[in-house]
Amino acid sequence: MATGVQTSPPPPRVVTVRAMVEPRAMALPLECVAGAAGLDRVIAHSRIQKSGLALVGHFEGLSPRRVQILGQTEMSFLATMSSEARAAALDGFLARQIPCVVVTMGLAMFPELVAAGEKHGCPVLRSTARSSVTINGIHGWLDDQLALRTRVHGVFVDVFGVGILLLGKSGIGKSECALELVQRGHRLVADDVVDCTLRGAENVDGTATELLRNHLEVRGLGVLNIRDLFGVAAVRDKKRVDLVVRLLSYDDDESWDRLGIDDEWYDVLGVHIPMRRLPVRPGKNTASTVEVAARNELLRRAGVHSAREFHARLARALGVPDPTLTSEPPGSGAAE
């Protein structure tokens, strides 16, 4: 059985051309040569398009959501045209409401390209890097800028290389548990507010907000700088969310999992992440239980499911059907 929290998908993110040409926005600097009136045009797709066919009037497949590249091949082709033919080709190309055009290798701009950019308010940018370097740089920046994001209230720690998101009501002991884990040699990623970013289709990265980075609030002690107290090895900036642990008091839920056969899932940005619910009470060492949960998750990822193996063995001994079922995240393949 697979259960979990269902959330509405967040709206798609967008970024403007202006953000891309801001100083220090990327390691790859871009210069706006023409069409500055269109710097607020929206880029809604992280992939670059290199559509040389558009220069001969074939606009099928030309996306108004993607950055367009003119490299040495395209510029060499334009150089073979007469001025009138080049003006007509570039006028038709830039009239398609594309976000912007990036000319690579620092190539000289044709006057017709500058004129078409100004006429249609389409930014014409120049990069001094080769086309491959320019495309990779813009891809990486857009992947980060356009990635879906959400914020979760909780504490995020790295335990044995497993990114564990601790959830629970205020005062349940999330921060105290994280502090104990840090003292045992594990690492703090974020406290109180965890910024989650979708990477690819199935991975969610968690990080701290810039203001709260390296800090942990512990009742009675106040806000602690974990990096200053325990050293740089006690913190990390980012980690994949591999497991969600929801801390609950014994009074909150009476249906505790005693068998460990069924799996439970928590939805973050449409990704179903394994979840465990742990009871918390005075005197119980929650940090030790979280460590065991991390080790158990590593075993499961390696294909070892202790609870199911035990019940399968028990069923064979009793001569009854195997009660274990393969559990998968809703709407996806087998769990990692």
**CATH number (domain holding residue 272):** 3.40.50.300
215 catalytically annotated: no
Q: Which domain holds residue 310?
A: 149-318
How many whole angstroms separate alpha carbon 241 and alpha carbon 164? 6
| Number of Cβ within a 10 Å radius of residue 294 | 23
Packing angle, helices 174-183 and 286-301, rounded to 10: 70
Identify the active-site residue in 192, 195, 263, 267: 192
Amino acid at 269: L
pLDDT score, position 336: 37
The C-alpha torsion from 153 through 158 and 160 to 165, rounded to 10°, is 10
258 catalytically annotated: yes
Has residue 3 been placed in a domain?
no
CATH number for the domain spanning 129: value is 3.40.1390.20
| Number of Cβ within a 10 Å radius of residue 203 | 15
The answer to whether residues 301 and 167 belong to one domain is yes
Identify the active-site residue in 126, 174, 187, 239: 174
pLDDT score, position 302: 87
The band of 29, judged by pLDDT with boundaries at 50, 70 and 90, is: confident
Residue 78 backbone zone (phi > 0: left; psi -120 to 50: alpha; other: beta): alpha
Lookup result for tokens 């294909």: 303
**Looking at residues 308-319, what average pLDDT do you find?**
77
DSSP 9: P
Amino acid at 139: H
120 catalytically annotated: no
- In the chain, what percentage of residues exceed pLDDT 70? 89
The band of 17, judged by pLDDT with boundaries at 50, 70 and 90, is: very high
Has residue 202 been placed in a domain?
yes
Coil/strand/helix, residue 35: coil
Q: How many domains does the chain have?
A: 2
Has residue 336 been placed in a domain?
no
pLDDT digits (tens, 9 = 90+) for 249-302: 877 655 666 666 777 899 999 899 999 998 888 767 899 999 999 999 998 888
Amino acid at 137: G
The answer to whether residues 71 and 172 belong to one domain is no
The answer to whether residues 199 and 295 belong to one domain is yes
Which two structure tokens, joined as six digits, stand for 236?
């990390």
pLDDT score, position 37: 95
The band of 199, judged by pLDDT with boundaries at 50, 70 and 90, is: confident
Question: What size, in residues, is the chain?
Answer: 336
Has residue 331 been placed in a domain?
no
| Number of Cβ within a 10 Å radius of residue 282 | 6
The answer to whether residues 116 and 198 belong to one domain is no
Identify the active-site residue in 58, 153, 313, 316: 153
How many whole angstroms separate alpha carbon 70 and alpha carbon 110? 12
pTM tops 0.85, yes or no:
no
State which of 102, 123, 146 marks the end of a domain.
Answer: 146
Please list, residue by residue across 57-87, b when 16 or more beta carbons sit within 10 angstroms of its beta carbon and e when fewer do: eeeeebeeebbbbbbeebbeebeebeeeebb
